[in-house]
Chains A and B, each alone.
Chain A
């Protein structure tokens, strides 16, 4: 059994090994204002470090339409890097048997498979185990995706 920190993001449960959780912060721009650096939003941390902000809700189907209020940051640390996951509520701790997580079905490939290392079935809940190595790359993936979208829009505009 292992202790996982559960984050509710876009109505879905994501699990992070508690050992990798550096803290939880309130998402309040009047107190801590995110900054932009190289197309990525970063959050100053009290110890002088910075966490790259990662909003997984935008990646979920209908993420924009079903946008729930995301009130907190879950600060995750992995290999000296910090990621601030935007989440709904403060999250919670749960003890889970993670010895045999289910793998995603083979239909899921690429980045979705890289990001979700396994799925834990906890009674009626499905908890998506986040691969922290991939999670650290998500802000870069999002930035490159945004660039591609903008190029596509420009190309479409030029074509018309």
Chain B
């Protein structure tokens, strides 16, 4: 590969999403810069009265990070499936704590293993098309973009409101 080719190639992490009203597979895309680390199973401390999409907190280098289930966020009315996960993806959310100004990280639950894909400029230009997102994804109000390719849809989700505590999900409110 030429140096030019390497420059235009991006690495992305694709996290499979369970979206009830999607026709095919749907993945949530995180850029390589967003992903801090992928962790295996570890204890998650649950917090009473939290909405179902906030699975709990984990201790990550003496920092408490919220653990978020994107599946629950996208399917708030779906009950059950609280059990297993395979990986925990530590991400930078790109936002800061309004009180302290600290950058906020979050941990995303992956029920199946996260995929790493290398996407060249050519692939990005030819195989992806902008597409209408499934309604449940749109209804979250967190969707930044949705693109489609043969193997499934790819969603870009902005979690800044969730980690800042300004996201209100009426179906989950106590």
Tell yes or no: B52 within 8 A of A by CB: yes
Task: Choose among A12, A60, A61, A105 the residue that contacts B66 (Cβ–Cβ < 8 A).
Answer: A105
Bound together, the chains give a CA A46 to CA B14 distance in angstroms of 59
- Indicate the size class of the contact surface on chain A: 20 to 34
Bound together, the chains give a CA A115 to CA B49 distance in angstroms of 9
Q: How many pairs of A and B residues are in contact by the CB < 8 Å rule?
A: 90
Q: Which of chain A's residues have a CB closer than 8 A to the CB of B147?
A: none
| B164-A106 in contact (CB<8A) | yes
Known contacts A61-B82, A126-B59: A115-B97 contact under CB 8 Å: no
| Interchain nearest-CB distance for A31 vs B (Å) | 28
| A128-B45 in contact (CB<8A) | yes
Interface size on B, residues (CB 8 A): 33
Bound together, the chains give a CA A106 to CA B162 distance in angstroms of 9
Q: Which of chain B's residues have a CB closer than 8 A to the CB of A110?
A: 49, 173-174
Task: Choose among B46, B57, B80, B173 the residue that contacts A60 (Cβ–Cβ < 8 A).
Answer: B46
Tell yes or no: A76 within 8 A of B by CB: no
Q: Which of A42-94 contact B (CB under 8 A)?
A: 56, 59-62, 65-66
9 A-B pairs with C-beta separation under 8 A: A11-B46, A102-B62, A105-B57, A105-B163, A106-B99, A106-B165, A107-B66, A107-B106, A141-B49
